[in-house]
């Protein structure tokens, strides 16, 4: 049984190491200036040729991207955390409920610390198709949507009866955080490297929280 538990925990450690390595690689490219050329090229693909203030695509698509990007806003994410906290509390999963709050708050603090630490400027305002504030690297929307959606999906998955449903919950979380990150680049408020770093950092933090939840569960002697 112990060997089975060790093997089950191996893949999160490997993913954690991969996410951490990915964040450091992107950070190195940004600090050395090597990422700017591809960042600028990707941003240009999202704009009408010769008109950097106009995103490509019809108006309804632009509005859809603004709706999607709102999924990664502090208000929406806070509502999601509170809703899942209530669900876990009603289910009697108090440790998991508080872990959800701590993971989300800790991820937010880490995101702000990284932003202030790197102090990277956003793309020129002419590209902005939505209102933004603060620094650019890493993308707070991409990072926090990854942190919150993945952490909450992992915690809620514990209440689901089958592996298929658990995978579905995690898959929806990955899709939602992925779309949020892409919307930030499309709307011209982040470089692609900001979003990649946000995904990597958010995944690493979510995995750390998941491992913390496993440690708490195993500490209670529940190895099922």
Question: Under 8 Å CB-to-CB from 178, ≥6 apart: which residues?
Answer: 199
Catalytic position from the list 36, 128, 190, 215? 190
- Mark whether 4 is an active-site residue: no
- What is the C-alpha to C-alpha distance for residues 69 and 141, in angstroms, rounded to an integer? 8
Of the candidates 4, 36, 128, 141, the residue annotated as catalytic is 141
Structure tokens at 180: 């949020």
Task: Give one word for 78, left, alpha or beta, with left for phi > 0 and alpha for psi -120 to 50.
Answer: alpha
Cis-peptide, bond into residue 138, ω within 30° of zero: yes
Mark whether 128 is an active-site residue.
no
Instruction: Map residue 154 onto helix, strand or coil.
Output: helix
In this structure, the number of other CB atoms found within 10 A of the CB of residue 210 comes to 22
Token readout for 105 is: 């708050």
Give the span between the Cα atoms of 59 and 42, in whole angstroms.
20
Select from 170, 203, 173 the least CA-distant residue to 17.
203
Residues taking part in catalysis: 141, 190
């Amino acid at each position: 049984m112990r060997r089975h538990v060790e093997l089950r925990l191996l893949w999160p450690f490997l993913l954690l190491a991969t996410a951490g390595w990915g964040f450091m690689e992107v950070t190195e490219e940004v600090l050395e200036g090597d990422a700017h050329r591809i960042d600028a090229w990707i941003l240009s693909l999202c704009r009408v040729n010769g008109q950097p203030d106009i995103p490509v695509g019809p108006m309804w698509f632009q509005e859809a991207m603004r709706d999607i990007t709102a999924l990664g806003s502090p208000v929406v994410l806070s509502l999601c955390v509170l809703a899942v906290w209530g669900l876990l509390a009603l289910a009697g999963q108090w440790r998991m409920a508080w872990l959800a709050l701590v993971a989300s708050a800790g991820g937010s603090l880490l995101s702000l610390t990284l932003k202030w630490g790197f102090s990277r400027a956003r793309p020129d305002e002419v590209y902005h198709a939505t209102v933004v504030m603060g620094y650019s690297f890493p993308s707070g929307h991409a990072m926090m949507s990854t942190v919150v959606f993945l952490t909450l999906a992992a915690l809620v998955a514990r209440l689901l009866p089958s592996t298929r449903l658990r995978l579905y919950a995690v898959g929806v979380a990955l899709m939602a955080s992925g779309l949020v990150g892409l919307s930030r680049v499309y709307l011209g408020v982040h470089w692609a490297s900001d979003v990649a770093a946000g995904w990597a950092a958010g995944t690493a933090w979510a995995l750390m929280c998941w491992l913390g939840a496993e440690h708490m569960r195993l500490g209670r002697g529940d190895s099922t």
